[in-house]
């Protein structure tokens, strides 16, 4: 996987966006296992954009659809980052790069 290292670059086309919220906020709306969805979404894709949400904001943006809150202490932040790393490792198994 090549990462462009030339500063900002233009996103000039629409790509599919998949949001995975942790922890799950509701029941599954599809009948397929998540692994099938991830594997099938990788067909014919030669670039990706990743966004890792860290919900410990100093100010809360009104446009943000993600879980958010103020600083909640070192234990909460450590638990969150541990879970985030575990989730990255889990989903990395389904990405061919």
Question: Looking at the domain assignment, is residue 46 inside a domain?
Answer: no
**How does residue 82 score in pLDDT terms, banded at 50, 70 and 90?**
very high
Q: What is the pTM of this model?
A: 0.49
Question: Looking at the domain assignment, is residue 73 inside a domain?
Answer: yes
Question: Looking at the domain assignment, is residue 2 inside a domain?
Answer: no
* 42 φψ region: left (φ > 0), alpha (ψ -120 to 50), beta (else): alpha
- Compute, in degrees rounded to 10, the torsion defined by CA atoms 50, 16, 23, 89: -50
Question: Looking at the domain assignment, is residue 22 inside a domain?
Answer: yes
DSSP string, 21-39: -SS--S---SSS-HHHHHH
Question: Looking at the domain assignment, is residue 82 inside a domain?
Answer: yes
Q: How many whole angstroms separate alpha carbon 13 and alpha carbon 75?
A: 40
Question: Looking at the domain assignment, is residue 75 inside a domain?
Answer: yes
Q: For the segment 50-67, what is each residue's pLDDT rounded down to a tens digit?
A: 778 788 877 777 777 776
Question: Looking at the domain assignment, is residue 78 inside a domain?
Answer: yes
The residue-averaged pLDDT of 2-20 equals 56
Q: Whole domain around residue 63: which residue ranges?
A: 13-41+55-97
Number of folded domains that form the chain: 1
Q: Inform me whether the pLDDT recorded for 28 exceeds 80.
A: no
Report the DSSP beta bridge partners of residue 56. Answer: 69
Question: Looking at the domain assignment, is residue 1 inside a domain?
Answer: no
Percent of the chain at pLDDT above 90? Answer: 3
């Amino acid at each position: 996987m090549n990462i462009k290292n030339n500063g900002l670059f233009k996103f000039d086309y629409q790509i599919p966006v998949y949001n995975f919220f942790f922890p799950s906020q509701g029941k599954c709306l599809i009948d397929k296992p998540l692994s099938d969805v991830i594997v099938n979404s990788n067909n014919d894709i030669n670039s990706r954009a990743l966004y890792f949400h860290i919900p410990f904001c100093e100010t809360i943006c009104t446009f943000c659809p993600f879980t958010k809150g103020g600083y909640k202490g070192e234990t909460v932040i450590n638990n969150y980052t541990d879970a985030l790393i575990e989730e990255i490792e889990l989903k990395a198994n389904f990405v061919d790069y």
